[in-house]
Amino acid sequence: MTSREILERHQVWVYLTAVILGLVAGTLWPDAGYVTEALVWPVLALLLYATFTQMPLALVPAAFKDRRFLAAALVGNFAIIPVLVWVLVQFAPDDDALRLGLLLVLLVPCTDWFITFSQLGRGDATRATALTPVALVLQLLLLPGYLGLMADIDFASVFALADVWPALLVVLVPLVLAALTEVWARKNPDRERVVEHLGGWPVPLLAVVILLVATAHVGEVGETLQLLPIVVGIAVAFLASSLVIAKVLGVIGRLPASQGRTLAFSLGTRNSFIVLPFALSLPAGWEVAAIVIVMQSLVELFGMVFYLWFVPRVLFRDPAPLPLRDRHS
């Protein structure tokens, strides 16, 4: 087993360790928050670049060939899940920053560790890989509309262009560079190996991002601990509901077991660190949104441990082999 595979299998504990170390560092050295908050942006950009390089944009046309799986994934992620998120957010306290954090993180399907968990959970990694670029483009286009419908806030004051443009650059520049890297590496084995090595970066880089965020916002974490049961409850309800939705869509679409598993992981995982830059760019008083995103991502990671057992063994089991006499009939 390679070091990358070891990290991916144990990433939950890597991230939890990063949170603990960040909280301890922020408590012992309160002034470190100014430095770590500045460091979050370049590390986050590097994380997104490494992640996007593993998302072959050339597979976008292939994603449209399997219409049943694509339809189930898109309807689930962009029609049914938004309704579920709106319902769940109604159970949250009437706190704009809290609700915005929940909306930001729960409305966008994952485009990074979703592939890893699909593979570990005996899903169809090829279809997972082909789906990710489509899901990324759609979520970036649709998220403003979802927020406009569901968030009862003054967007002009919260998402001021002067504050948001760094977050846009942190997402868009790595995406463009990753696309250029894909072109650069095409049909050159040495360059393809360079890109393959970049696949080992996301887990450690994500751990560094979590550590930096925890260090920079340890004060807000302490002040918002009372929100933890709320965020955990909504995140767990989301994970459980996603399993039901995946099963229903899998049955309606008559998806084979491997594709059903991929669908379950797609609906259950969210794109925490695509939306984190936007949460970090919010004005003073909205820090809770970023804390909520980090909290949700940790709950999700523990949820994925359960998914890895439940999805292939219970939700989408392989069909039982026919008895020997039936095989020859």
- For the whole model, what pTM was predicted? 0.83
Is the Cα torsion angle 237, 72, 117, 56 positive or negative in sign? negative
* Cα 152 to chain centroid, rounded: 24
**How many other CB atoms sit within 10 Å of the CB of residue 42?**
10
- Per-residue pLDDT for 291 more than 90? no
Paired tokens of 3: 């070091």
Give dist(CA 80, CA 242) in Å, integer: 10
Give bridge partners of residue 109 from the DSSP assignment: 270
**How many other CB atoms sit within 10 Å of the CB of residue 228?**
14
C-alpha distances in Å from residue 101, one per residue of 92, 162, 234? 11, 20, 12
Which range has highest mean pLDDT (32-36, 253-257, 289-293)? 253-257
Buried b (16+ CB within 10 A) or exposed e, 269-298: bbbbbbbbbbbbbbeeebbbbbbbbbbbbb
Length of the chain in terms of residues written:
329
- Per-residue pLDDT for 158 more than 80? no
144-154 pLDDT, tens digit per residue, is 889 888 887 76
Give dist(CA 130, CA 277) in Å, integer: 25
C-alpha distances in Å from residue 75, one per residue of 80, 110, 142, 156, 235? 6, 15, 13, 30, 21
> Could you tell me which residue, 124 or 79, shows the higher pLDDT?
79
DSSP state of 109: B
187-234 pLDDT, tens digit per residue, is 788 888 888 888 888 889 888 988 888 888 777 766 677 888 999 999
Give dist(CA 18, CA 139) in Å, integer: 28
Locate the domains of the chain by residue range.
3-316
H/E stretch holding 196 reads helix 189-198
The dotted CATH code for 3-316 is 1.20.1530.20
Distance spanning both ends of the chain, measured CA to CA: 43
Cα-flanking dihedrals φ and ψ of residue 270, to 5°?
-125, 160
Q: Are residues 289 and 100 in contact, defined by beta-carbon separation less than 8 angstroms?
A: yes
pLDDT interval class at 242 (50, 70, 90): very high
Give dist(CA 119, CA 307) in Å, integer: 12
